[in-house]
Amino acid sequence: MNAASDYAGKKVLITGGLGFVGSTLARRLVDLGAQVTVVDSLIPDYGGNWFNLDGYTDRLRVNIADVRDPFSMRALVAGQEILFNLAGQVSHLDSMVDPFTDLEINVRSQLSILEACRHENPAIKVVYAGTRQQYGKPRYLPLDEQHIQAPTDINGVNKLAGEGYHVVYHTAYGLRTTSLRLTNTYGPRQLIKHNRQGFIGWFIRMAVEGRTIQLYGDGQQLRDLTFVEDVVDAFLRAGMDEKANGAVFNLGGEAPICLLDLARLIVELAGRGRVELVPWPEARKKIDIGDVYSSYARIQQVLGWQPTTPLRAGLERTLAYYSQFFDQYVTA
């Protein structure tokens, strides 16, 4: 794939484009010469941040809109060539506290987006951001795309439904859709102001502030991590390759690492902070899913993607970013 020539001049729409992955993708596409429109609702606590597009806001179009609004989406998808559909509520904890909001954003809004595409722009290519949380507790490892999907929280159920709609709109209406099931993504521009959107950003914040990273139990749970620039590369490949149409792909990291080793590595690279093991809270222990990591063999075979950023290098870049721009992500 020659991303520079493939995307030059292309009209691209990114939902959730002021968020972590969306903004990183938007910046890359602008650099490649694409005509980028970013959509974001800027709902507090969801990760949208104007600073994520610092230096780029005059080189793309930003539309503050909610994907739950079908009228806005119909106007926005018209004339676009590629839609990277990253808007969503991604906190598993929030989904259990407020399931109806999660349902509206991760299910109903996906139908609004797909209906807008079907009626206003059936030739558009759509790449959806799914999640490995759709699988639930692993029955074998690494997770592959054939593994049964049995989510353990509301967010996983709703993300599974959102992906299912994308697949149906491909088979039933011929819409060119693809879903990428992301694992633990990390890197610059990640939300760190609270710990409800994954553990990595919170570990990073604790280290930058010289505070304690608390791990439950013995900290031996295995996870895989993918650097955000590698995730963006996967989206770019899926957006341009016709072999991705109608398919779902896992992303993954270079190798799983236990949480204790990960936390210690972050503290080492930051030169600050400490790691502490604490007993499992009963509520958390009941929903713990143990070791989880994914196989990226299918996307490697079909689209030629694999993670290329070593964990240490990715963490160094992430820590350097937050050391410089911490105040843009955490309000006093």
Q: pLDDT digits over 300-311, tens only?
A: 999 999 999 999
How far apart CA 269 and CA 265 sit, in angstroms, is 6
pLDDT, tens digit (0-9, with 9 covering 90-100), for 19-42: 999 999 999 999 999 999 999 988
In degrees and rounded to multiples of 5, residue 182 shows phi and psi of -75, 145
Between CA 154 and CA 136 the distance in angstroms is: 11
Q: Quick one: 93 exposed, middle or buried, by C-beta within 10 A (0-12, 13-18, 19+)? A: middle
Query: Range with the lowest mean pLDDT among 48-52, 76-80, 205-209?
Result: 48-52
pTM of the predicted structure, to 2 decimals:
0.95
Tokens 């029955």 found at? 139
C-alpha–C-alpha distance, residues 258 and 47, integer Å: 26
Distance CA 217, CA 281 (A): 9
C-alpha 189 chain-centroid distance: 12
Q: Does domain 3-187+227-253+293-308 have CATH number 3.40.190.10?
A: no
pLDDT in tens, 52-97: 999 999 999 999 888 878 888 999 999 999 999 998 766 666 777 7
The total number of residues written for the chain in this structure: 332
Residues paired with 257 in a beta bridge: 223
Instruction: Report how far residue 307's alpha carbon sits from residue 319's, in angstroms, rounded to the nearest whole number.
Output: 19
Residue 213 above 80 pLDDT? yes
List, for residues 139-181, the tens digit of each pLDDT value.
999 999 999 999 988 888 989 999 999 999 999 999 999 999 9
Domain boundaries, the chain: 3-187+227-253+293-308
